[in-house]
Chains A and B, each alone.
Chain A
């Protein structure tokens, strides 16, 4: 059983460039989440998918950010026209079908660390 994987693990880019990150969830997990973690802070929610549908987006997800999960499996997070303030760790997580009476856990990948110069 493989865990959540993310690619690349590190990305350095220049301000104004576009970047794209990929997340592969645990197989058979139908929910996928993106979080952002800045230095010294806890992760903050960005968005989540149930299968291929994007069901919630945080106000943190500006118009320069777009996330997709076209076939309900892997997901991509794209940042256009990167800014220095986008420098952070981008975390992906997945979970199986949500049943409140058996609260399911989100399983996190290793993250993609982005540095915008």
Chain B
């Protein structure tokens, strides 16, 4: 089946640290990949996406590269801020399907 596995949380970092949140996937077809973010008390917001192998999605200083050979889509940011504290979800959608398949989420806390 289709599934997404994320790095276990919670993750706690100091401001300006480098961030990596690992995400790997299993897919029966050709997926598009997404990172969504959920700030406290708010709904899911799309952070970035990539629709084919070797594509790099980027937004707000975050980046993720679609790696088909390792079935991965790791999220990175060079220098995190307190305002990046949130829960991050990796997700996929298969060509021809309509449903997003999410990972379990990774809670990130950034300390000043």
Binding site for B on A (CB under 8 A): 4, 31, 33, 35, 40-45, 48, 55-56, 58, 91, 93, 98, 100, 103, 105-111
Contact = CB atoms under 8 A, between A and B. Distances in A.
Given A42-B91, A110-B43, A105 B102 contact: no
Nearest to B49: A105
Contact of A98 (B42, B43, B89, B98): B98
Given A48-B98, A105-B46, A106-B100, 19 more contacts: A42-B4, A42-B89, A42-B102, A42-B105, A43-B89, A44-B102, A45-B99, A91-B43, A100-B96, A103-B32, A103-B49, A103-B93, A105-B34, A105-B49, A108-B36, A108-B43, A108-B45, A109-B43, A111-B43
27 contacts: A4-B43, A31-B98, A33-B98, A35-B100, A40-B105, A41-B105, A42-B89, A42-B91, A42-B105, A43-B44, A43-B89, A43-B100, A43-B102, A44-B102, A45-B101, A48-B98, A48-B99, A58-B99, A93-B44, A93-B100, A100-B96, A103-B51, A105-B49, A107-B46, A109-B43, A110-B43, A111-B43
Majority SS of interface residues in chain B?
strand
Contacts of A93: 44, 100
* Residue with the highest number of chain B CB atoms closer than 10 Å, among A33, A100, A103: A103
A10 B34 CA distance: 27
Contact of A55 (B98, B102, B104): B98
Contacts of B43: 4, 91, 108-111
Nearest to B36: A108
B95 interface: yes
A22 to B, nearest CB: 15
Nearest to B9: A40
A42 B42 CA distance: 14
